[in-house]
Structures are given as C-alpha cells and as structure tokens.
Amino acid sequence: MRKSWIVAGAVGLVLFATLLGAGVVARAAGGVSLADACKGTGYKFIPIDDNNFLFKFKGEFGETWNIVASTQPDYEYVVIWTTVVKLGGKPSQDLAIRCLELNNSYAASFIAYDSKNNDLDCQMAIYKPALSGELLKDALRQVITMADNEYRKIRQMSQT
C-alpha cells in the first residue's frame, strides 16, 4: 500500500514539474504545429505521418537513439520518447524503484514502463500551446541526455 502511494506521488511530481515548466514558457499566442516545431529545431528528421516525427541521434557512448515526437489532434501535449531497453519479462521491483529514483534526478523527463511493447521508455511532454522549435530542441536534448546517461544501468538491472 505504501509503495503505491510513493509511485503515485512520484508520478504526480513529474507531471507537476512538466506542467510548471510548460506554463513558464507558454506564449500568449499559442504554439506552432509539430511539423513547424520539428523544422525549427534545425535537426534532421523523418516524418512518419502528420502527427509523428522521427529523429536519429548518436549518443555520447556511440549508441543510436531513435527519438519520436508524437501527438494527436485531440491531445493537449506533444510526447517525445525513445526506448531505453526492451524487457524479457515484467520489470522487477528493484528496477522499478531505480527508475523512480532516476525520475527524481531529471527535471521533466522520466522513465516509463510501456506495457504494450514491454519496454522502458524515456519520455517528456510539452504542452502544445507552448510548443516551439527551440522548446522541442531542448526536450530532445533532455531525452537524449537521460537515455544516454542511464540506459546501461537500466539494461543491466533488467537482465538480472
């Protein structure tokens, strides 16, 4: 019971930090389209469709990160995510706790369990009215930094 409160509190804190960050940078005129924001980053990207865009980055340790910026017309947020590690089975309690600890170490990005694909993703959300090329570029950098810095530890823990 206590652990579920800790998890709920951690998730709430991450969402609050994301909303607070988005609110600080929100512009009165509203955000730009995701396609325009992708162009505004100055990075090369591949449009998957009108709502999903793929960026490829080399990490500091040589890994290639496929990062997706994704939204839907009825969503209030753009989600930026990359898969950190594919799991062979359900995540252990130790791995889940480690991911929660990591989530406290980064401002607005977080590790999330994707039960549909049985993997751990590094994610970040941007409030659509705040969306700009510069904000998307910063979010991409944040996701790359977290994924690149932490994936070895997460991968090692997921294999035990």
Containing domain of residue 119, as a range?
2-158
CA neighbor of 146 nearest in space, from 71, 80, 54, 52: 80
Q: Name residue 74's beta-bridge partners.
A: none
Q: Give residue 29's pLDDT.
A: 45
pLDDT 10s digits, 48-87: 999 999 999 998 888 899 999 999 999 999 999 999 988 8
CA–CA separation, 85 vs 118, rounded Å? 9
Q: Give residue 24's pLDDT.
A: 45
pLDDT 10s digits, 90-114: 777 888 888 888 888 887 889 988 8
Domain count, the chain: 1
CA–CA separation, 158 vs 20, rounded Å? 32
CA–CA separation, 125 vs 15, rounded Å? 9
Q: What does the pLDDT average to over 109-132?
A: 92
Q: What is the CATH number of the domain that holds 40?
A: 3.30.1460.10
What's the mean pLDDT when you consider all of the chain?
82
